[in-house]
Chains A and B, each alone.
Chain A
């Protein structure tokens, strides 16, 4: 019995050692997972990720660690087998342990076998049987700790504190790549300077790819009609006025985008009016361009707007197959090239449109300021005017028309011209997207018959004289024999 107790003690000691290692390993794993939360927050900031993520990762790591710890608890019998394997004890210790802990199953040789196993157990080194090994989670933990320290270091270096609020990527990009993009950033910053110009104007100037100095401070509304810009619906104006655009005369597809973009710019300038309500009014309102920029307006919004406008204008130019608008009208001042024609240069119709737009914009702004209780008439006027402003510049002297007034004014020459520019098909396509309904195609009724020429063919068969004695091959082996000879044939062919 003393021998059995000794053996049990040895195995139990080894088991404690194994449990300690498992505990260490799983704790390392749990800590690694728990540190992923701070790592994510250090990278993304609490602006993008909730701070509760810390708790989620902590609980996940804890739960997984406990679950794995419980599952990997070694049994004493298993530990005894590990000892046997490590000491090459031919399963003597595990066998002795098993029959010592299960006396009912013991046989006559059990005491003798126990006597042989105990000296082995006492002579062995448990550190060799249950060696300490660094688990892979330890390396993972080290990597996570290093990454976390690096992120915190970068964060401290960029913002001089360890606040986790802003995302790290913009901070790092701003600090690391400010020099190469300094000009562009300065231009953007200049465009956002209050009182030195309106943002829509800057944005649109950038959209028109004009590598020019910043626009005049007293720039005109963004979507102001150019010389002789008529009023009318967007599609009609786009159809009629595309050849005469100076950079902002776009088709309806992009005119809306420009209008929206300009509206957003105007919104930022005014800081009050919403885009929906003042989509056209703010564009036509000269005063909107001189509005005060909103304090603390997010720069990402303007950047996003900038990129969107840029893409839209690229697409427009590629579809129009036109050069950049800077060369559209030689001799025209840059102000005009940028589509910011002054009201004085516009036709009376354009002035009227601008005036109406400004009125509408003002009314819309007032309606926003008054809690959205704006009358319906100004809003309708605003929407009606918006098309004229976002559209191009129709021929001078054209009367203002309501929506769809120019639908029937297309003649064959204009259509041919548009088709030559590739615009017509796009317009059709644009319209086709909005169309729905059934299409009835009438075809001429005539009897149809598929005729295949008849070709007489003939095949000859001959007996090669081969003999197959199937009786020699059992049915169960036929597929194997077939595979075998196929393999032989392939080898002979090769």
Chain B
């Protein structure tokens, strides 16, 4: 149906086969809202205290290595 060969497509565009979709640009405000939510999702987890189990694990790995000499 979609005859892509009729379009002028550079080899680089063909490589990035998302090029056509990339022309669908979001309103900058919407992009900003999504960006903000993305960072708040991520930062929310960053702010959590590190579980002791992870620090204990690292200490164990270190101890094991020391014992090996």
**Chain B associates with chain A:** no
